[in-house]
Structure 1
C-alpha cells in the first residue's frame, strides 16, 4: 500500500495527478527535441508551460493538505511528506529550467531566421552580379534604381497630397455642418421665444375676456334692476318707496289739477 494513501486519500489523489503531469512533461520535452519547425516548437513549449502551471498549483494544494493532517501524524510520516513535497518541487524546477533553455534556443533560432532569410541570399547574388558588371552597366543599373526611387517618392507625394485634400474636404464639411447646426439652434431659440410670446398673449386675452364678462354681468344686473323698477312703477304708480324715474312721472297737468283741488 502506498504510504501517502495511508495518510490521506486526498493527498494520494493529488500525488497521482502530479505524477501524471510529470510523465506528460517528460514525454513532451522528448517530443520537442524532434520538432524542427520553429512555430511548432513554440506551440509545444506553450503547452508544456501550461502543464507546469497546473503542476505548481497541485503542489501548493499538496502542501496545504500536508499542513492540515500534520497535527495527527507521527514525526516520521511528516518527514516523509515533507521530503515528497521537496522532491516534487525539485523535479518541477528541473522542467522549468529545461523550458527556459528551450525558450532561449527558440528565440535565438528566430533571430537567425530573421538575419539569414532569403534577403541575405539575394544580397549575395547581387554582390556576385555586380562583380561581373562593367562600369557602364553599373551606372545604368544605378540610374534605373534612382528612377525607381524617384517614382516611389512621387507616389508617396501623391498619397500625401490626396490625404491633405481629403482632410481639407472633411474640415470644410465639418465647418458647414457646424454652421448649419448653429442656424438650427438660432431657429429653435426663435421658435421658443415666439411660443413664449404667444403664451403671454393668450394669458392677456384670457384676462381681458374675464374682465369683459364681469362688465357684461354688471350691465346685465343694472338692466334687470331698471326693468324691475319700471314694472313695479307701472303696476303701482302711487308707491312712495320708489322714486320717480325720468319719463315715468305723471303728466304735469294732472299735478296742477290736484293742486287746484286742494
Structure 2
C-alpha cells in the first residue's frame, strides 16, 4: 500500500479498502462453513455478496485511477499497476466461485426439505391415502382425466415438434436462398472483375493507338510545314537553284535552239 500511495494517494486508499474487503470475505466464508442453519447461511451469503459488489466497484475505481496517472508513470510502474489490478480481479473471482458453490449447496438442501422420497413436494403418501378412499367409479374417472391430460400433453408436444420442424424447414430454405444469393453475387463480382480487366486492356490499346496517331500527325504536320515553306520560297525567289522545282510552280522551261535549224 505504501508504494501505491507514493504513486497516487487515491490508489493507496483504494488498495487499502480492497484489502480490507478481501480479509472480511475470507473470514466470512470461514464463518459460513461453521453455520448449520440454512437461513443464517442465506443471510451470511447475502452479506458476502454485498461485500463482493463493493469490491468490484473499488476495482473499477482503481482501474480508472491507473489510467489517469498512466502518463506520469514509467513503463515498469504501469506494468506493476496492471499486474496488481489483475491480481485483485483473480482474487475476487475466487470468492465469487466460492459463493456460487455455497449457494448451490444451500439450494440443494432446501430442495431436499421440500421434496419427499414418496413423491413430488412430499405429498405422495397423501395421494395414496386419497386414492384408497375413492370408489371404483371415482378411480376410473380420475384415471380417465389423467389419460386425457396425458393425451393433451402429447398433442402439445407433437405440436411443438411440428412447429420446430417447420421452423427448421424455413431456416433451411432461408439459408439455401442466402447461399444462392451469395453465389450470384460472387458470379456478378467475377463478371465485373472480367469487365474491368477488358476495359483496362482496351484503354491500353487506345492509348497506344492515340500515341501512334500523334506520331503520324506530327510527321504529317512537319511535312506540310516543309512543303509550305518550299512553296513560299519558290514564290518569293523563283530563280533559286538550290530548291528543286515543284510541279506546277516552276517557271516555264526555256526553249532550246538546235545547232542546226532548217528554218
TM-score range, shorter chain: 0.5 to 0.7
Residues 202-257 of structure 1, C-alpha deviation per residue, up to 9 Å, x if partnerless? 222222112111111111111111222222223333333222222233324x3336
TM-score, scaled relative to structure 1: 0.56
Give the number of aligned pairs: 178
Distance (Å, rounded) in 2 between the aligned partners of 1:153 and 1:224: 104
Residues 171-192 of structure 1, C-alpha deviation per residue, up to 9 Å, x if partnerless? 1111111111211221122122
Matched ranges for 1:59-138 at <5 A: 110=110, 112-116=112-116, 119=120, 121-138=122-139
Report the aligned-residue RMSD.
Answer: 3.8
Residues 12-50 of structure 1, C-alpha deviation per residue, up to 9 Å, x if partnerless? xxxxxxxxx9xx89xx68x947xx5x24335538979xx
Distance (Å, rounded) in 2 between the aligned partners of 1:107 and 1:199: 73
Structure-2 residue corresponding to 1:188: 189
Higher relative contact order (CA 8 A, sep 6+): 1
Matched ranges for 1:136-147 at <5 A: 136-147=137-148
Structure-2 residue corresponding to 1:166: 167
Offset of residue 149 of structure 1: 0.7
Asked if the contact 1:32/1:44 (under 8 Å) is kept, the reply is: no
- Runs (4+) of structure 1 exceeding 4 A deviation are 45-48, 105-112, 257-261
Please, which runs of 5 or more residues in structure 1 have no aligned partner?
1-20, 49-104
Structure having the higher helix fraction is: 1
Structure-2 residue corresponding to 1:76: none
TM-score, scaled relative to structure 2: 0.56
Residue 240 of structure 1 aligns to a residue whose secondary structure is: coil
